[in-house]
Amino acid sequence: MPLRPATEADLDTIIELIHALAEYEREPEAVRLVPGELRRHLFGPRPYAEVILAETGEGASAGFALFFHNFSTWEGKPGIYLEDLFVRPEFRGQGYGKALLAELARLAVERGCARLEWAVLDWNEPSIQFYRALGAAPMDEWTTYRLSGEALATLARG
Q: Could you list the active site residues?
A: 131
What size, in residues, is the chain? 158
Q: Is the dihedral of CA 27, 25, 87, 106 positive or negative?
A: positive
Q: Tally Cβ neighbours within 10 Å of residue 51.
A: 23
Determine the Cα–Cα distance for residues 81 and 147; give it in Å rounded to an integer: 18
6: Cα separation from own chain's centroid: 13
